[in-house]
């Protein structure tokens, strides 16, 4: 293992709850029901693909202008919640693991679909751990396409088989596996069944065990 590539939402920070609130409010305004199960399907998907999901669910045909307006509305609400985040809102052991990896010379990249990734990394004060940041502003294909992780590996000068990807979404695990990465799922094994290993959270992960995996 030469490098670790982390998804952001749901792995390092618990922002899924904020995405949920903001999408649910937009969906409700559009007359579409939006459950926790729906939110699970959106994990790892781009903002565009997420809106598509809601519009499809409600059989809504939208103009480009409406789409832009709804995405902006959702994002403004999401940002208002994210801007209230503080340094303590990283998930358990996230900071400690990043620190441990850094001190053992493991390269670290972010591989996130979010266009708000840098802002969030700043908010919770972990941006300095990353040697490369690949986010939704740098990718053109949504997970499960492996693009985001392949760009991450390239930015770190590593081959996919030298990198471990951490993901909380099945789409993200699929992206990692199809790109040739070792995939660690963070969440439930029933959901992330395609991952090489699944842990409930980063709290059960440390450098020594990662070293033994690869
Ligand atoms: C992450 C989240 C998704 C979210 C996507 C885009 O992958 O898991 O739920 O839709 O980022 O986020 P953004 O901040 O650009 O709207
Ligand atoms: Mg995620």
The per-residue pLDDT for range 38-72, each reduced to its tens digit, is 998 999 889 999 999 999 999 999 999 999 999 99
Distance 43 CA to ligand 2 centre (A): 6
Tell me the best of 5, 16, 19 to mutate to test the pocket of ligand 1, counting ligand atoms within 8 Å of each CB and taking the most.
Answer: 19
Examine the residue annotation and report whether 122 is marked as an active-site residue of this protein. no
The per-residue pLDDT for range 155-180, each reduced to its tens digit, is 999 999 999 999 999 999 999 999 99
Examine the residue annotation and report whether 9 is marked as an active-site residue of this protein. yes
Tell me the best of 43, 171, 186 to mutate to test the pocket of ligand 1, counting ligand atoms within 8 Å of each CB and taking the most.
Answer: 43
Q: What is the percentage of the chain residues whose pLDDT exceeds 70?
A: 100
**Rounded to 5°, angle at Cα 203 from 198 and 204:** 50
Is 15 touching ligand 1 by the criterion CB < 6 Å?
A: no
Q: Which atom of ligand 1 is least distant from the CA of 75?
A: 16
The chain-wide mean pLDDT, for the chain, equals 96
Q: Which atom of ligand 1 is least distant from the CA of 115?
A: 15
Per-residue confidence (pLDDT) for residue 214, from 0 to 100: 62
114-121 mean pLDDT: 96
Is 43 touching ligand 1 by the criterion CB < 6 Å?
A: yes
Does the pTM of the predicted model rise above 0.85? yes
Q: Whose CA is nearest to atom 6 of ligand 1?
A: 114
Q: Which atom of ligand 1 is least distant from the CA of 172?
A: 7
Q: Which of 9, 38, 135, 168 is catalytic?
A: 9
pLDDT band with cut points at 50, 70 and 90 for residue 30: very high
Instruction: Tell me, letter by letter, the H, E, C secondary structure of the chain.
Output: CCEEEECCECCCECCHHHHHHHHHHHHHHCCCCCCHHHHHHHCCCCHHHHHHHHHHHCCCCCCHHHHHHHHHHHHHHHHHHHCCCCHHHECCCHHHHHHHHHHCCCEEEEECCCCCHHHHHHHCCCHHHCCEEECCCCCCCCCCCCHHHHHHHHHCCCCHHHEEEEECCHHHHHHHHHCCCEEEEECCCCCCCCCCEEECCHHHCCHHHHHHHC
């Amino acid at each position: 293992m030469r490098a670790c590539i982390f998804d952001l939402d749901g792995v390092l920070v618990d922002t899924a709850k904020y995405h949920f609130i903001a999408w649910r409010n937009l969906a409700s305004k559009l007359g579409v029901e939006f459950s926790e199960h729906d939110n699970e399907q959106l994990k790892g998907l781009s903002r565009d693909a997420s809106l598509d999901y809601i519009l499809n669910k409600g059989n809504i045909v939208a103009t480009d202008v409406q789409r832009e307006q709804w995405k902006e509305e959702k994002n403004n609400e999401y940002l208002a919640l994210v801007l209230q985040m503080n340094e303590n809102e990283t998930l358990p052991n996230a900071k400690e693991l990043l620190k441990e990896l850094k001190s053992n010379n493991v390269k670290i990249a972010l591989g996130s679909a979010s266009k708000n990734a840098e802002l969030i990394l700043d908010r919770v004060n972990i941006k300095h751990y990353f040697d490369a940041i690949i986010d939704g502003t740098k990718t053109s294909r949504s997970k499960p396409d492996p693009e985001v992780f392949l760009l991450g590996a390239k930015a770190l000068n590593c081959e996919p088989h030298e990198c471990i990807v951490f993901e909380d979404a099945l789409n993200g695990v699929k992206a990692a596996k199809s790109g040739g990465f070792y995939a660690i799922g963070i969440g439930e094994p029933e959901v992330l069944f395609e991952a090489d290993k699944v842990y409930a959270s980063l709290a059960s992960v440390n450098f020594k065990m990662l070293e033994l995996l690869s």
